[in-house]
Amino acid sequence: METTQANAPHLDEGSTILLIGGPGSGKSYSLSTIIEAGLKLAVVGTERSYLESVMQSITDRKLDQSKLYYHHIYPGATPWPLLIEMADNINKLSFAALSSMKGGFNKEKYTQFREVIQTLYNFQDERTGKLLGPVDQLDPSEWAVAIDSLTGLSMMSMLAVVGTRPTAAEGEWGVAMNQLEQFGNACTSNIKCFFVMTGHIERESDPTGLSGTQMYVSTLGRKLSPKWGRFYSEVIHAYREGDKYYWSTATPMFDLKKRFLPLSDKITPSFAPLIEAWRKRRSQQKKEAAE
């Protein structure tokens, strides 16, 4: 059976995974299981401790460190003089006066969101200096890309809009949210290899009004959190129970999604089953194309 380019299923594309959980739930630590499953991993870290967790996991599992490529971009830490300036404004001015201030303060210092995009466009490994090129051109049979985490990205997006101004108008929230939403769509649409985004948890109102509140990934605004999971084929809850770590696709009140993982609240925290499922799908696709 011949499969044309126009109607070929996109089985060559890796899964897109959103892994959400509280601090200390093993999100970053589990990323090394991608290497354990035989892929190389390119990580953009937006949190200071991400590399400690990933490297410790690689050491614990006795994996090849050369399979890890990383680049860190942290949300802009406001310098002390600017924090003093912001504190003075807050102390001296009313909320109405703060809200009426025009423009963003020191916005030019907060270019980190753009730097993340630039890194994905031409990824450079910090350890070796090696350039990988655009991540959307990496071979799905060899690579996975991860961003750890959405929390840092959300901070970057807002800082890019308002800088050090301590208030944000409704329209500015909309700009920051729209920028972030377009970025999320680009990552899950353009990147063809396995893509993982980690994030923290936020309680938000259920937009359907059926269940009161739901637990979603933490990001900007109440409207964006419930929409974020639509970009992904798997939305997984990472959590710790005593000294054991688990993934869940069935936690009550969480907005989760599963396609290839089992429906369970006691899943071993590993990306290997998802990668193996993809390999089987790809093998079957090639077999059908050859018939």
CB 255 within 8 A of CB 216: yes
Domains held by the chain: number: 1
Residue 59: inside a domain, yes or no?
Answer: yes
CB 237 within 8 A of CB 247: yes
Q: Which structural domain range is residue 106 located in?
A: 16-200+230-246+260-290
pTM of this prediction? 0.91
pLDDT, residue 77, reads: 82
How many other CB atoms are found less than 10 A from the CB of residue 177? 22
Sign of CA dihedral 154, 159, 162, 168: positive
**How far is 247 from 19, CA to CA, in rounded Å?**
9
pLDDT, one tens digit per residue, over 143-165 is: 999 999 999 999 999 999 999 88
Residue 27: inside a domain, yes or no?
Answer: yes
pLDDT, one tens digit per residue, over 204-225 is: 766 666 666 799 999 998 899 9
Tokens read off for 195: 């893509």
Q: What is the mean pLDDT of residues 94-107?
A: 80
Residue 186: inside a domain, yes or no?
Answer: yes
The size of the chain, in residues, is 291
Q: SS3 for 98?
A: helix
Tokens read off for 224: 């964006």
Residue 275: inside a domain, yes or no?
Answer: yes
Tokens read off for 10: 């996109």
**How far is 77 from 91, CA to CA, in rounded Å?**
21
pLDDT, residue 258, reads: 95
**How far is 45 from 64, CA to CA, in rounded Å?**
19
Residue 99: inside a domain, yes or no?
Answer: yes
Helix (H) or strand (E) holding 205: strand 201-205
pLDDT, one tens digit per residue, over 226-276 is: 999 999 999 999 999 999 999 999 999 999 999 999 999 999 999 999 999
**How far is 39 from 271, CA to CA, in rounded Å?**
11
**How far is 103 from 90, CA to CA, in rounded Å?**
16
How many other CB atoms are found less than 10 A from the CB of residue 91? 7
Band of pLDDT at residue 82, cut at 50, 70 and 90? confident
Residue 206: inside a domain, yes or no?
Answer: no
Residue 136: inside a domain, yes or no?
Answer: yes
DSSP state of 66: G
Residue 53: inside a domain, yes or no?
Answer: yes
